[in-house]
Structure formats: structure tokens, C-alpha cells
Amino acid sequence: MSLNQFDQAVSINIQSNLIKQLLIVLPHAIAGVTLVAFLDLKGVITFFFLISLVCVFLSLIYFVRLHLTLNSKKSILKIHFKAQDSWYLTLKNDIRVKVTILATSFSSNLLIILNFKDVTGRQYTALITPDGINPDEFRRLKVLIKTYRLDV
């Protein structure tokens, strides 16, 4: 498919918003509550319970730093799409990286997950929700992901 409608440069600022917060915090909270509920069962070893709870907590910290507070080295602050195969990411400390979008990227009405890889093989992920960007940009990006032939 021709990308004439996408020939304009698009720059998307990544930010924390309510839907993204719910997508990250809610599953971790459910996992923690589930672990606490299983503690009452006989035969559950407290050591494994504590290790599992620590793993859920560390996972929560990782995803909050990466996608909500944008404090991680791999946190994406901006996504730039200029023309066919011209994707750039602005990371923390204003580092700009040329990347290739991967076929594992996903789009739906409530969430767009963009997976990228740079020339060194390092991978990056961006979570974009409709309340985080302009509705027209969200729609254009969703159409782009569904129609554009992505690299495998």
C-alpha cells in the first residue's frame, strides 16, 4: 500500500495518562491480591509467596519507570515518523535513535503497542492510548499499523 497519506512528518509526544496507568497498575494489583489470597491455602510455602510478591513489585517498578514516569534509559519520550521506513525515537536525555518498526506492533481501539529495533538490535516499546495523543494522530497511527507492511 502506498503511504501517501502518511508522507507528512508525524511527531508524537509520549506521556503518562489514565488508561496507561490503569493498564500497568491494575494487573500488578490483581496479581498481588491473588498472591495474598493463596497465602491462606495450606501447603503454600511462605518463602515462595514472598519471592512471588517481590517479583510482582519489581515488575511494577520497572513498568512504572519505563512507561509512566519515563525515567528509564529506554523510555521513549517522542516518536517521529517522517516517510516510509523513517522512524526515529527520542529517548531520555534527548538521545535520538533511528529504528525499524517490528511486525509485533499491535493496534486496537484502546491501545497501540509499537515495538522498535535499532541497528544494534536493542528493542524499544511504546504504549500509546487514545487519551494520550490527539484523536486524529491516534487514528492515523492505528491505520498505519494495520495497513503498513512491517518488518519481521
The model's pLDDT over 55-114, given as tens digits with 9 standing for 90+, comes to: 999 999 999 999 999 998 889 999 998 766 689 999 988 899 999 988 888 889 889 999
CA–CA gap between residue 68 and residue 58 (Å, rounded)? 15
Q: How confident is the model at residue 43 (pLDDT cuts 50, 70, 90)?
A: low
Percent of the chain with pLDDT over 90: 43
60-87 exposure pattern, b = at least 16 Cβ within 10 A, e = fewer: beebbebbbebeeeebbbebbbeeeeeb
**pLDDT for position 25:** 96
Helix, strand, coil percentages in the chain from 3-state DSSP, rounded to 5: 40, 25, 30
- Delimit the domains of the chain by residue range: 4-14+74-147, 18-68
Q: Please say whether the beta carbons of 80 and 115 come within 8 A.
A: no
Beta-carbon contacts of 88 under 8 Å, excluding residues fewer than 6 positions away, are 79, 80, 81, 82, 96, 97, 98, 99
Q: Please say whether the beta carbons of 128 and 114 come within 8 A.
A: yes
Phi, psi angle pair for 102, to nearest 5°:
-100, 160
Q: Looking at the predicted structure, is the pLDDT value of residue 2 above 50?
A: no
Q: Which residue's entry shows cell 500488578?
A: 28
